Structure 1
Amino acid sequence: MKASIRLLTKRRFLPLFVTQTLGAFNDNLFRTVIVLVATYGIYSDPQIETRFSAVATGIFIIPFFLFSALAGQLADTHDKAKIIRIVKIVEIGIMLAGAIGLWVYSVPLMLVGVFAMGIHSTFFGPIKYAILPQHLQKDEVLGGTGLVEAGSYLAILSGTILAGFITSRQAGIIVLIIAVLGCYASRSIPDAKAEHDGPPLDRNIVRASYRLVSGTMHIPRLFLAICSISFFWAIGSVLIIQFPPVVKNLFYADRQVASLFLAIFSIGVAIGSLLINRLLSGNVSARYAPASVLAMGVSVLGFDRVIHNWHNLPTGRFFTVSAFIHQPDIWMVFVALLAIAVTGGMFVVPLYAFLTTTVAKDHTARTVAANNIMTSGAMVFGGFSAALANSLGASTSQILWGVAAMCCIAAWLSWRLHCSCD
């Protein structure tokens, strides 16, 4: 753990960490504000609220389908640090458009901002993992990955909490400021030039995506790692989509409590990211992945039981944060949420480390890009399935039981990965 924390004092890691953390904060603050505004300020129907949350998630993910292959090719054949700097400059323009959408209360313009941030994340995502083996020693990669994940989720935590307590006008100003700070931090990232000249860029995004995925998935342990990660993000997308409507319509709580739920989830993933690094002592291994995701499934069922037993009603329209945290057995709600997130973090971090240490350094970005294509597909499928099930009358309890079943599939895949590698 101490060795990992010491990476924060190194120029070969700290500027990337800061750039990634600021980007995660900005992205999450912007998207959370949009969802909360729609849930609490525009719509008053639980099904429409869930659908809007799913649509916002889908719009953000579509660029991963379209541009991940191009992003992976660029990152493996060009200076990764230079690409990061270009992406962060573009983020300023994206956040300006998004801020205008927040200021004039335009949902279409806000969703355009979400789509553009999806493009931003598509090009930045492969680099943030692929650059680590290039700047870090082999025994530092898992620790660096854990710190990046922990920093990301702590940034998500901060953005989530803040989203519930500020106006849309204030949010527009903040996202612009953070975009500028992220651009400045990216200028200190050391150069990370491609180690070999790659083939010419394939600008046919459909063909390039097919070749990228097929060229990666034939490696057995990469196939298993990517499938396991994909199931995790499908599970995560269903849970994140459910949280705001569940808080509003089943716990009868306001938007600050919705932010609190998402914040607790983020804290848990950050804790799990650091805890698994401590357990594995820096070794890349899927040893604890099956047990972790099974524990996640049990925690999801525990959360369903907590919802089922919740019969407290607010004196006003909604519980405020102060009133909500003083309800009987509130600790059970928070423990269930935290357990889901901690076990999820313990499950997914070693799998990302597999992606960057299994292949040659000049193929890591394309490997992460292939993973992004698969995980984005899984997230769209998870979000669409949850929205469809909700439209067909499925209860929150039935959806959560479906999530628990998905955890069992993820456990089976990660067990096969463990057996093939460890």
Structure 2
Amino acid sequence: MTTSTHLLSRRRFLPLFCTQFLNAFNDNLYKTAMVLFVVYAVYNDENAEGTFSAVASGLFIFPFFILSALAGQLADMRDKAMIIRRVKLCEIGLMLIGAAGLYLAWKGIAVHTFAIPLLLLALFLTGVQSTFLGPIKYAILPQHLRREEVLAGTGLIEAGTYVAILMGTILAGWIPVEWAAGGIIVTSVIGYLTSRQVPSAPPVAKIEKLDWHILRASIELIRNTMHDKQIFYAILSISFFWTIGAVLFIQFPPLAKNTLMASKEVASLFLVIFSIGVALGSISVNALLKGKVSARYAPSSVIVMGMFVVAFYTVCRLWQADQPTELLNVSEFIAWPLAVAIMLCLLGIAVAGGMFVVPLYAFLTTRCSPDQASRTIAANNIVNSGAMVVGSLVAMAMNMIGVAVAEQLLLSAAMCLFSAWLGKRLHRAEIEHAH
């Protein structure tokens, strides 16, 4: 029996895996249904669509920036399983808000004045929920798993997350928006029920007083975490990676509609390919490293990712030379020249990205002391979200000044070079620590 199969048969891992899977599925069913509906059914301008996509991305990420310090403290000072259950209970309420927004938008009732603000409010609350779950899903693993199981557990969580993203994205692109509204409510209820089976994970150190001053707590958290050179470079590397990812995800829906002349089902297909690729990369790097937590492949992985981004940009420009005149459905898109090249480039970006980022999360949970694991992840989330918000603002600014979405891909490619430098610095710190 492999380590992965072994873990999936144990209560110390399976309920957490299922809860995270359903959470990622529901988040992406809602987010993708909302963005695709607004981009394809409400707006009819590339820059407006890109701006909305950037605003939505920024609103989802912002809670990580302002609340991660509190989330990390809570996760280290309280029972992690109890926090998961309470957050999942709150998810039912916020999905009711999101479902109401989707229904009103579908019916055409006060779309701009009420429905879209309601949709964005629910998206922001979804970000709050994910902020409080974020430090737990990785920090709980060393508490429930043996040290040699942590990398496999991290890989399974990541692979499961991206398969869930895949499933949520497929459904959002293919089912009517009113069905999505009902689906997110049902999934939130099931997710709460699975969360009740997660084994207790009490604090492993002395319980300290919570610091409710968000700014002070955030600064203190980052300062206390970043003194370790390995953790410092791991956090910076992950942050820059997700900045690249945020910019790419902002670009996908308007790029599909306006550059490739593809339907919302094709836009959903793009996100599906990306999710499959990251899952494949997550599993592949675990096999290459043979269970050892290392940043050995980080620099080369992100360089390869940047090369695939440049290839994707090149194919998009060639596509524009023979652009369709009407939106293509999935079968028409696949039959179009260069469609296979587009999909292979996307797959390459995602596989290389998964190989880059997964070992870095395992780095964070194994290089810090167990009583600091949640706060280390929280510090990572603060830096990640700050970088991603900056990326969203840059994408929004480029849309507002009229930079074509296809041209924005080159920014993502350039950012991969800096990520490779950070990955190299991390691997050097790892070698120095070993010596």
Backbone CA RMSD of aligned residues: 1.1
Q: Which residue of 2 aligns with 1:102?
A: 102
For 1:396 and 1:253, locate their aligned partners in 2 and report how far apart those are by CA, in whole Å: 14
> 2:313, 2:407 within 8 Å by CA — same for their partners in 1?
no
The letter for the 2-side match of 1:227 is: L
Q: Which residue of 2 aligns with 1:363?
A: 372
Q: Which residue of 2 aligns with 1:127?
A: 136
Q: Which residue of 2 aligns with 1:341?
A: 350
Q: Deviations over 1:320-340 (max 9, x none)?
A: 111111112321011000000
Per-residue deviation at 1:400? 1.6
Q: Which residue of 2 aligns with 1:183?
A: 192
For 2:312 and 2:187, locate their aligned partners in 1 and report how far apart those are by CA, in whole Å: 34
Moved more, 120-129 or 103-112: 103-112
> 2:260, 2:324 within 8 Å by CA — same for their partners in 1?
no
Once the two structures are superposed, the pairs formed by residues 10-409 of structure 1 within 5 Å of their partners are: 10-105=10-105, 106-310=115-319, 311-314=321-324, 317-409=326-418
Per-residue deviation at 1:390? 2.5
Per-residue deviation at 1:126? 0.4
The letter for the 1-side match of 2:90 is: V
Per-residue deviation at 1:203? 0.5
For 1:297 and 1:36, locate their aligned partners in 2 and report how far apart those are by CA, in whole Å: 26
> 2:255, 2:406 within 8 Å by CA — same for their partners in 1?
no
- Secondary structure at the aligned position of 2:175 is classed as coil
The letter for the 1-side match of 2:243 is: A
Q: Which residue of 1 aligns with 2:109?
A: none
For 1:168 and 1:104, locate their aligned partners in 2 and report how far apart those are by CA, in whole Å: 10
Question: What residue ranges of structure 2 are gaps of 5+ in the alignment?
Answer: 106-114
> 2:69, 2:218 within 8 Å by CA — same for their partners in 1?
yes
Moved more, 235-244 or 401-410: 401-410
> 1:101, 1:110 within 8 Å by CA — same for their partners in 2?
yes
Question: What residue ranges of structure 1 are gaps of 5+ in the alignment?
Answer: none
- Secondary structure at the aligned position of 2:174 is classed as coil
Per-residue deviation at 1:397? 4.2
For 1:249 and 1:21, locate their aligned partners in 2 and report how far apart those are by CA, in whole Å: 32
For 1:236 and 1:74, locate their aligned partners in 2 and report how far apart those are by CA, in whole Å: 28
Q: Deviations over 1:295-331 (max 9, x none)?
A: 000000000011011144446x310111111112321
- Secondary structure at the aligned position of 2:292 is classed as coil
Per-residue deviation at 1:103? 1.2
For 1:326 and 1:400, locate their aligned partners in 2 and report how far apart those are by CA, in whole Å: 24
Q: Deviations over 1:24-69 (max 9, x none)?
A: 0000110111110111011001001000000001111111112111
For 1:312 and 1:81, locate their aligned partners in 2 and report how far apart those are by CA, in whole Å: 54
For 2:351 and 2:5, locate their aligned partners in 1 and report how far apart those are by CA, in whole Å: 19
For 2:411 and 2:124, locate their aligned partners in 1 and report how far apart those are by CA, in whole Å: 28
- Secondary structure at the aligned position of 2:355 is classed as helix
Using the aligned pairs only, state the percent identity. Answer: 55
The letter for the 1-side match of 2:36 is: L
For 2:205 and 2:262, locate their aligned partners in 1 and report how far apart those are by CA, in whole Å: 55
The letter for the 2-side match of 1:7 is: L
For 2:347 and 2:359, locate their aligned partners in 1 and report how far apart those are by CA, in whole Å: 20
> 1:312, 1:327 within 8 Å by CA — same for their partners in 2?
no
Q: Deviations over 1:68-90 (max 9, x none)?
A: 11100000011100110111111
Per-residue deviation at 1:394? 2.4
For 2:180 and 2:402, locate their aligned partners in 1 and report how far apart those are by CA, in whole Å: 35
Alpha-carbon spacing, 1:103–1:397, altered in 2? closer, same or farther (3 Å) = closer
Aligned to 2:419, which of 405, 410, 413?
410
Moved more, 161-170 or 146-155: 161-170
- Secondary structure at the aligned position of 2:335 is classed as coil
For 2:406 and 2:233, locate their aligned partners in 1 and report how far apart those are by CA, in whole Å: 29
For 1:99 and 1:43, locate their aligned partners in 2 and report how far apart those are by CA, in whole Å: 20
For 2:409 and 2:67, locate their aligned partners in 1 and report how far apart those are by CA, in whole Å: 32
- Secondary structure at the aligned position of 2:211 is classed as coil
TM-score, scaled relative to structure 2: 0.95
For 1:396 and 1:314, locate their aligned partners in 2 and report how far apart those are by CA, in whole Å: 17
Moved more, 56-65 or 124-133: 56-65
> 2:40, 2:264 within 8 Å by CA — same for their partners in 1?
yes
- Secondary structure at the aligned position of 1:143 is classed as helix
The letter for the 1-side match of 2:295 is: A
> 2:254, 2:405 within 8 Å by CA — same for their partners in 1?
no
> 2:68, 2:132 within 8 Å by CA — same for their partners in 1?
yes
> 1:134, 1:361 within 8 Å by CA — same for their partners in 2?
yes
